[in-house]
Structure 1
Amino acid sequence: MNRHVFVLCATLLMLLSACGNGDAERRRGDSPQPGTCEPACETGFSCVNSECYVQVRPEDCGEDEEFDPRLRVCLTPQCDDGVQNGEEEGVDCGGDCEACEIPELCGNGEIDEGEACDHGGTIQLACAYGESSCEVCNVRCELVPGQVTGFCGDDQVQAGGGEECDHGGSPQTACPDGEDVCQVCAEDCTLVAGEASGSCGDGVIQGEEECDGAALGGASCQSLDLPEGELSCAANCTYDTAACVASDGIEELALGYSHTCARRADGSVYCWGRNDDGRLGDGGSSDRVTPTAVVGLDDAVQISAGGYHTCAIRENGTVVCWGDNADGQLGNGTGVGSRLPTPVPGLTNVTAITTGTWHTCAVTGRGAAYCWGQNNYGQLGDGRAVGSSSPVLVSIGLSDATRIDAANFHTCARRNNGALVCWGRNTYGELGDPNFTLSYSEEALVQVRGPNGTATLSGDFIGLGNGFTCARTDQGQVYCWGINGEGQLGTGVAGTSYYAGLVGTGFAQLSVGEFHACARDSAGAVSCWGRGSEGRLGLGNIANYDQPQTLVMPAVEHVEAGGTHTCAILQDGRVMCWGRNSNGQLGDGTLNDRLVPTEVGF
């Protein structure tokens, strides 16, 4: 084929609804300097096709994407970007792959005038085995970025590289169950004699296993500093602490992109889902498919789960955070992540906490607000666009905050008089004032306006998504504004809206996820709207809905929307979740997505 080229799956958030599966874990961001890489992209961004894009990790890329280790972005092979890809028969010169003029002497095996290389008749397409980046010679005898292929751990056997097998990143160490003699794939992708033991499920603890079957290695709920109960071993040979719980119920839920946390009445916190960066706070890096206790935290009064990290307010008014810290979002003055709760120095008397994707904010009892982490759009509110790994005062006119909420690139707060204000990115009008036309606000608060664009909007709650915002008034009305590619504004009207649009009335509680939102009425009925992929709306399908749709489920006390999933505390005390479950974030003991509410395995 000659139609493959490296292009970014999403160039701007406006296009997010049309690309890939919308997985929030890809850490996509729009360009801070659209259309140019001059003078240079900011830290954490790479230049692709003259635009700056946020850097990601290999695991953030989708099935149809490839991770470019040189640029650190997710790319999809196609034709027209100037990259000579492996299946292109013509030449890729940044346009029609067969329309480039080929120099007369190109291909003669000698580097002639005007040629940077000469392939001698055979086009070099891919990097040498094991290389993560290189330049290759295309059919015009130019050096262009090469296609990164062929390394041990890519799940494909390259015989030319000396591979006999490929373990896909995790070496096979033992024979499959039931086999006594076998060959297994070693770390260097060669076949070696396997052992007839050493697998999870054989009743013997080995390697990185915490437990195996009935073998717990002497561990117990008490030895793990958990409430009394019976410790067991999960099918993946990690501790199952679901039964190490106090008798009192769940009082609060917090949902991130791919993890979930719950706070009990006794102050203990349990988390489950993705954990490679330590966001579950159990001291390890293994994903958890059932609730697992956060180590050393038994006096939490509020919790918040962000994109890749989690925070909690302790009973004494101090804050602890854990998980990824690449942008300083843990607030401990470093860029080093933590797998256990870590104090945020200098913060006391904290009454409210919120975790965005890459920044965190808190409100103190005197109404002052502090933020820390990424700040490329002024979302920290300190009048600058420079990030901070320690708390900085929101100094642009806010001294009477009662609650605060953070998203990807903007932040909003409720003032003591009920007025709602926002700051940070405003690309899609997410700050809530149709008269404010700048792309972001870093030096002043923006007053949220009502439907007519003139009167101010007041309320008891404001919630932020990716490029949109919603608020609930004291009278139970819900309004939304901003980007609307998948119906996330819930108004039934297509297109981005810079005005607050009425979603509905009679709502007692509201929660906003990355691309969807849910609300509960006074009778406990839940309605959701927006993106429906992976079943996050709980309606039994994956369709998008641009108006609230009522779920079929038991009466709910509180509903919470996350990145790609949703959870609720029922009036009878149980917890149910639905949506994406790729990392066990639904807590039902499986990795199966759920299109309808499913009970969490407490």
Structure 2
Amino acid sequence: MPDGLTLNDDGTLSGTPTADGTATFQVMARYKSKSGQQTYQVVSLSLRVTLLAMPLPDAVAGTAYSGFDFRPQVSVAGDDAYDDTLVEFSASNLPDGMSLTNGVLSGTPKTKNAPDGSSFQVIASYRGAKGQQTYTILVNGQPLDVVKISSGFAHTCAVTPSGGAKCWGTNTMGQLGNGSTTQSNVPVDVFDLTSGVASISSGAYHTCATSTSGGAKCWGYNKNGQLGNNSTTSSLVPVNVSGLSSGVASISAGYYHTCVRTTSGGAKCWGSNGNGQVGNNAVADAKTPAAVSGLSSGVASIAAGSSHTCAITTSGGAMCWGGNGYGQLGNNSATDSKVPVDVAGLTAGAEGIATGFGHTCASTTSGGAKCWGWNAFGQLGNNGTTDSKVPANVSGLAAGVASITTGYGHSCVVTSAGGLQCWGTNTEGQLGNGGTAQSTVPVIVTGLTGGVASISAGYYHTCALTSTSAAKCWGSNTNGQLGNNSTTRSTVPVDALSN
């Protein structure tokens, strides 16, 4: 007889088996002077309760969780008449604000958790038997609302609707401006800039912003004087740019230099100047703003790149200066220039301009896109990989372009319909089309065929601002530059999250 079972005098077999297994036993029945015997087998199976392991949908802090039902994840062995209504659930270490009721995980998590989520235990009980499983849930922050966005080497910064400055990503040089050098995978406030910010620009390892009163501040790496405060000491918090407490219309942070357009239409630059990118007819670094030769007025916009700078004049002309090893000045030459030179074929009709590592792109008043310079990855968008010293038309974009941006080896445009297209290198998914293959012609960014207000390409990542003030980023995320509480790259746009 199996341990735990008893054959009662009335002929019933009862009890609780103490172990699994098959037991053979004999039963003898007597009636008056006669008896009969039979051999039986009984298979004893103890109840086993199992909870299946599986990933859970992400949650968002401050938002009701849609609910995850653990009941279908329970399996019971040893009961042919299993009744799932008898299963009871309990949990431990749930995120604050969440609960498990009748097997359903729900509630509103109060705060975001670690980048890799937090673990909790669920226990399912059925007729005295229990099963346990550990699950992990990621609680993200709320999507970040912004009105301006700028991508740097491996960090990103934005201006909020209330005029505050927030940054995220790598912080080795203090480029996040929050007084530390600790990387952040979600946006953090820039010290003392929680209001009054008009615009922001992310460089390689420094960041600059303009105030609503027309002042300029910079922070981060300062070896070449790119902070403009007459120093070469880096700063973990914003410092005032010398002589620019007012009168600044826009600012552009390049690799190791910075430029502004003044409210009077002049151009000033400072920082690294080894290739003449400051534009003051010199090659010595400038620790304070220097006037760009010949551009004391008439400047409509300015863009600082890696070792060159470009501007659009109020008459629609494009001018560039600085490094020209790839032909990025667009003047049909490969010779550096310490002063502005005209871009061939764009002395009029240029509307916007963007400077990358070794290439430049412009949008025209007719809605076209043109690029020139380095083209190893197809970043000129002309269906080739040959460098060009003069502007080349971007394939398929003769019209309908609203704005343009350039990264290290890729370029992107916002169309007049509010869509996004990118081209060039795509090793980290920076084109946003769900893949990693480079493209020498524009491809559509997944999920952003409309509703895009602006675009900013970083070194290996890209960010966009939607018409609903959402910040979306994609590409490399090694340093948290996508701002989605993760360090995993994304080949499609993801929301940057509030802190």
Shared fold per TM-score greater than 0.5:
yes
Deviations 1:330-361 (A, max 9, x none): 01111111111111121121001000000001
Q: Does 1:353 align with 2:247?
A: no
Query: 1:456 Cα shift?
Result: 2.7
Structure 1 residues without counterparts, runs of 5 or longer: 1-202, 204-212, 215-229
The residue aligned with 2:477 is 581
1:105-151 residue CA offsets vs partner (Å, 9 max, x unmatched) = xxxxxxxxxxxxxxxxxxxxxxxxxxxxxxxxxxxxxxxxxxxxxxx
Report the alpha carbon displacement of residue 558 of structure 1 after superposing the two structures with TM.
1.7
1:284 aligns to 2:180 (yes or no): yes
SS of alignment partner, residue 514 of structure 1: coil
Match of 2:375 in 1: 484
Equivalent residue for 1:430, pick from 314, 323, 328: 328
In 1, Cα distance between equivalents of 2:308 and 2:406: 14
Distance 1:310 1:485, change over 3 A: same
- Kept in 2, the 8 Å contact 1:307–1:358? The answer is yes
Matched, 1:299 2:193: no
Give the C-alpha shift of residue 601 in structure 1: 1.6
Cα deviations across residues 404-434 of structure 1 (Å, max 9, x unaligned)?
1011111011111111111111111111111
Partner of 1:533: 427
Letter in 2 for 1:567: C
Q: Which residue of 1 aligns with 2:492?
A: 596
> What is residue 363 of structure 1 aligned with on the other side?
261
User: What is the Cα deviation at residue 265 of structure 1?
Assistant: 2.1
Cα deviations by residue, 1:426-479 (Å, 9 ceiling, x for unpaired)? 111111111xx352011x3210122xxxx6343110101111111001111000
TM-score (norm. length: structure 1) = 0.58
1:541 CA drift (Å): 1.4
3-state DSSP of counterpart to 1:301: strand
Choose from 208, 224, 229 the match for 1:327: 224
- 2:416 matches 1:522: yes
Contact kept in structure 2, 1:352 and 1:402, CA below 8 Å? no
Does the residue aligned with 2:347 lie in a helix, a strand or coil? coil
1:445 pairs with 2:340: yes
| Aligned residue identity for 1:581 | N
Contact 1:368 1:400 in 2 (8 A): yes
1:414 aligns with one of 312, 320, 327:
312
User: What's the offset of the Cα at 1:325?
Assistant: 0.7
Cα distance change of structure 1 residues 245 and 585 upon mapping to structure 2, 3 Å threshold: closer
Q: Is the 8 A contact 1:448 1:457 kept in 2?
A: no
Corresponding residue of 1:552 = 446
CA contact (8 A) 1:383 1:396 kept: no
Q: Distance in 2 between matches of 1:349 and 1:282?
A: 26
Structure 2 counterpart SS, 1:254: strand
- TM-score when scaled to structure 2? 0.70
**CA apart distance, 1:573:** 2.8
C-alpha distance in structure 2 between counterparts of 1:318 and 1:531, whole Å? 36
Query: What is the count of residue pairs matched by the alignment?
Result: 365
Unaligned runs of 5+ in 2: 1-92, 97-109, 118-139
User: Match for residue 218 of structure 1?
Assistant: none
Q: Does 1:380 align with 2:274?
A: no
Q: Does the aligned pair in 2 maintain the 1:254–1:260 contact within 8 Å?
A: yes
Distance in 1 separating the partners of 2:199 and 2:178? 18
Residues 499 and 459 (structure 1 numbering): CA distance in 2 closer, same or farther, change over 3 Å?
Answer: same
Match of 2:170 in 1: 274
In 1, Cα distance between equivalents of 2:334 and 2:232: 31
Quote the residue 2:407 is aligned against.
513
- Once residues 343 and 245 of structure 1 are traced to their aligned partners in structure 2, the CA distance between those partners, rounded to angstroms, is 31
CA distance in 2, matches of 1:294, 1:397: 32
1:88 counterpart residue number: none
The structural deviation recorded for 1:286 is 0.9
Which one-letter code corresponds to 1:561 in the other structure?
A: A
- Amino acid of the structure 2 residue aligned with 1:473: T
Q: Deviations over 1:208-263 (max 9, x none)?
A: xxxxx99xxxxxxxxxxxxxxx88775699xxxx97999xx411101101001110
Aligned equivalents of 2:116, 2:207: Cα separation in 1: 24
Letter in 2 for 1:514: Y
Cα offset for 1:299? Answer: 0.6
Structure 2 match to 1:73: none
Between Structure 1 and Structure 2, the one with more strand by share is 2
Larger Rg: 2
Q: Deviations over 1:75-124 (max 9, x none)?
A: xxxxxxxxxxxxxxxxxxxxxxxxxxxxxxxxxxxxxxxxxxxxxxxxxx
CA contact 1:420–1:459 (8 Å) conserved in 2: yes
Determine if contact 1:424/1:441 at 8 Å carries over to the other structure: yes
Q: Quick one: distance in 1 between partners of 2:238 and 2:469?
A: 27
Alignment deviations for residues 477-521 of structure 1 (CA, whole Å, 9 cap, x no partner): 000011111000001133111121111121112111121111111
Q: Distance in 1 between matches of 2:488 and 2:426?
A: 16
